[in-house]
Structure 1
Amino acid sequence: MISEKINEILVDEFEVDVDVIQPNLNLKDTLNLDSLDYVDLVVIIESNFGVKLVEADFANIQTFQDFYDLLKHKTGQN
């Protein structure tokens, strides 16, 4: 499942407890992401999923679920 893989990556790369990652929580606030962290996140996700992400992809990303849905769409797993 794509959400599980994303969660594993977030736990490993951003050193957060898997229990704080909930679909309805705000991605940026929960992970305490700044602009450099977003760049890291994009690079990590692109290399792990073989997709290309652009700034516009993140325009409507608020929650973890939004992020999961984006990656499902980008990878054709809808």
Structure 2
Amino acid sequence: MDKNDIFLFVKKYFVDTFEIPEKKIDLQSSLFDDLELDSIDALDMVGMLEAEMNIETNEKELKTIITVQDVVDYIIRKTSNQNNTNLNSQVTV
């Protein structure tokens, strides 16, 4: 998945789960101010990341997620780390 695919995935998730109008969602949208999510919604999002993207979340890192861009970057970073870990575990000498 490239960055645009991840953005579209996240956008669809917000539209389908929280019924946020699609036009309200862009990379700069604040999760809590612009999209009006609350802490329960944030927990739902974390559950989705863990289930759908197979990402192990870290509470400290999650506190830095404020915008849709932050969500996209977090997914890219975590899936990139997973891919590197998977590649490293497959290397034999």
TM range (shorter): 0.7 to 0.9
Q: TM-score, normalised by structure 1?
A: 0.86
- Aligned residues between the structures: 77
Q: CA deviation at 1:30?
A: 2.2
Q: CA RMSD in A?
A: 1.5
Instruction: Pick 1 or 2: higher relative contact order, CA cutoff 8 A, min separation 6.
Output: 1
Q: CA deviation at 1:36?
A: 1.3
65, 77, 81: which is aligned to 1:73?
77
Q: TM-score, normalised by structure 2?
A: 0.74
Q: CA deviation at 1:31?
A: 2.4
Q: Which is higher, the Rg of structure 1 or of structure 2?
A: 2
Percent identity between the two aligned chains: 31
Q: CA deviation at 1:59?
A: 2.2
> Which blocks of at least 5 consecutive residues in structure 1 are unaligned?
none
